[in-house]
């Protein structure tokens, strides 16, 4: 017998559409909360222990130690020009949410710069710093935002050099960690790698899942509307599979969509906005070969 969810519409509470003012306010609040968590983690754990785990934040730690530049100023100096460059070269995909995140993070770093160090044990700082940054960044992603910086740089590399996005992100983080190893110490670079690993795993958990890519199967009565929303709003391809209810024998289409970890929240929002009663299965994929995803040898 098939699952009741396939033949009956479950009773759910009212869901806010993606464009609802209350949802917009909530998303901006999530961006600010996530940036605040990242700033506290940065000032209490990463900066005092020189854990430069990639990104503009990691670069600001290196430059603070070498040149004496205040981390907040360094982050402003890189984030704002990168945002302008991203909008100029990549279009309006980097909208107001990215601008808010790009300004909020260094602002919170400046406002919380007087906080005492949480620990002077670099291993603890690397582990819990990675957890804090991953948690904050995951919350920012849930608000459909970005803190700019490294994300924009990686996207520029991906777009103009044809390098896969995950590899582009790894290159950007790798350069910062390499600088930490050369200008700070090899030991600092090793702790930074630990922090980066913990951060990425924490981000996966916050984003619901442990794999970098996910596959979603969507069963809905509004097939064409869902297809249009996924193709236009998510900018991902999809496949229509022909299915048949095991109990009812009804023929229906099943939509299959493969997305990256940072897109899973957006996909769920799209599905809810189009059909709040859709039946959705989201699972990990170990490997995806093809356009838009990393090709493994």
What does the H/E/C string look like for 98-111? Answer: HHHHHHHHHHHHHH
**C-beta of residue 212 within 8 angstroms of C-beta of residue 166:** yes
For the cut 50, the answer to whether the pLDDT of residue 1 exceeds it is no
For the cut 50, the answer to whether the pLDDT of residue 4 exceeds it is no
Provide the pLDDT confidence category of residue 191 given band limits of 50, 70 and 90: very high
Q: What average pLDDT does this structure show over 183-205?
A: 88
For the cut 50, the answer to whether the pLDDT of residue 8 exceeds it is no
Provide the pLDDT confidence category of residue 249 given band limits of 50, 70 and 90: confident
For the cut 80, the answer to whether the pLDDT of residue 2 exceeds it is no
**C-beta of residue 38 within 8 angstroms of C-beta of residue 147:** yes
Q: To which H or E segment does residue 64 belong?
A: helix 55-67
- Give me Rg for the CA atoms of the chain: 21
**C-beta of residue 108 within 8 angstroms of C-beta of residue 172:** no
Please give the pLDDT value at position 120: 94
Sequence-ordered list of residues with C-beta below 8 angstroms from that of 168, at least 6 positions apart, any chain:
153, 154, 155, 157, 158, 161
Q: Count the Cβ atoms, other than its own, within 10 Å of residue 53.
A: 27
Mean pLDDT for the chain? 82
For the cut 70, the answer to whether the pLDDT of residue 294 exceeds it is no
> How far from the centroid of its chain's Cα atoms is residue 152's Cα?
12
Dihedral (C-alpha) 224, 227, 231, 234: value to the nearest 10 degrees? 130
Q: What average pLDDT does this structure show over 156-174?
A: 80
Dihedral sign (CA 18, 21, 24, 26): negative
What separation, in Å, do the N-terminal and C-terminal C-alpha atoms of the chain show? 41
Residue 218 bridge partners (DSSP):
255, 280
**C-beta of residue 146 within 8 angstroms of C-beta of residue 140:** yes
The most distant pair of C-alpha atoms in the chain lies apart, rounded to whole Å, by 70
DSSP state of 297: -
Of 39, 58, 75, 66, the residue nearest 175 (C-alpha): 58
Relative to beta strand 251-260, strand 279-285 is unpaired
Provide the pLDDT confidence category of residue 36 given band limits of 50, 70 and 90: very high
């Amino acid at each position: 017998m098939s699952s009741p969810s396939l033949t009956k519409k479950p009773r759910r509470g009212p869901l806010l559409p993606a464009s609802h003012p209350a949802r917009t306010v909530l998303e901006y609040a999530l961006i600010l909360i996530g940036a605040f968590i990242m700033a506290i983690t940065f000032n209490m754990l990463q900066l005092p222990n020189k854990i430069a785990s990639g990104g503009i934040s990691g670069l600001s730690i290196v430059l603070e130690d070498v040149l004496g530049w205040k981390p907040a100023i360094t982050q402003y100096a890189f984030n704002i020009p990168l945002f302008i460059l991203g909008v100029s070269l990549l279009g309006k995909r980097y909208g107001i949410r990215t601008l808010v995140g790009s300004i909020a993070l260094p602002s919170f770093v400046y406002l919380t710069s007087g906080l005492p160090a949480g620990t002077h044990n670099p291993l603890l700082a690397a582990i819990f710093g990675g957890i804090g940054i991953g948690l904050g960044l995951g919350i920012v992603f849930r608000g459909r935002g970005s803190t700019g910086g490294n994300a924009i740089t990686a996207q520029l590399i991906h777009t103009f050099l044809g390098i896969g996005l995950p590899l582009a992100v790894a290159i950007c983080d790798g350069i910062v960690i390499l600088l930490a190893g050369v200008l700070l110490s090899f030991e600092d670079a090793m702790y930074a790698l630990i922090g980066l690993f913990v951060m990425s795993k924490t981000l996966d958990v916050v984003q619901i899942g442990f794999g970098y890519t996910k596959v979603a199967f969507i069963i809905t009565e509004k097939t064409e509307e869902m297809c249009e929303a996924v193709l236009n709003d998510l900018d991902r391809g999809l496949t229509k599979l022909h299915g048949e209810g095991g109990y009812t024998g009804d023929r229906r289409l099943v939509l299959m969509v493969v997305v990256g970890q940072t897109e899973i929240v957006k996909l769920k929002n799209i599905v809810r906005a189009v059909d709040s009663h859709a039946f959705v299965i989201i699972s990990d994929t170990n490997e995806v070969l093809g356009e838009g995803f990393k090709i493994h040898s």
